[in-house]
Homo-oligomer: A and B are copies of this chain.
Amino acid sequence: MGQQNLPHDHGHNDERKIREHLPGENEIAGVSEAMKQLGDPSRLRIFWLLCHCEECVLNIAAIVNMSSPAVSHHLRLLKSSGLIVSRREGKEMYYKTADTELAQTLHYMIEKLGKITCPQEELS
């Protein structure tokens, strides 16, 4: 897997040490999958919302100002990534953030990243 030697040996880096820090395929796939989910603004807004309340599809759609098929599409992706869970109550499906370490960590991260990238909006 991968080359044995680097094209250039610049001296200031120990190649062995570099490769030690490289994560495996599974780790790359897992992390990028989670990041990808929240890399879409619509999905991020929905996930962020569902971190703070449980809501049905129509209400989510109204809050984020999107069509319900579009919302449903994103909910499906978030759910199959294990970031949210759903529950049926009558005709409605309620969604909320999953009670997992992954989802909680991502919630913490986006709150923190929000403050870093938008420091002036500390008011909320």
Residues of A within 8 A of B (CB): 1-3, 6-8, 10, 12-13, 17-24, 26-41, 44-45, 48-49, 51-56, 58-59, 62-65, 92, 101-102, 105-106, 109-110, 112-114, 116-118, 121, 124
* 16 A-B interface contacts by CB (under 8 A): A3-B62, A7-B62, A8-B56, A8-B59, A10-B56, A20-B124, A24-B121, A24-B124, A30-B113, A31-B44, A31-B110, A35-B110, A102-B116, A105-B112, A105-B116, A109-B109
Closest to A36 in B: B39
Complex copy number for this chain: 2
State in angstroms the CA–CA spacing of A51 and B35 once bound together: 17
Q: Which residues of B contact A101 (CB under 8 A)?
A: 116
Chain B nearest CB, measured from A103 CB (Å): 10
State in angstroms the CA–CA spacing of A27 and B54 once bound together: 22
**Is B18 in contact with A52, judged by CB distance below 8 angstroms?**
yes
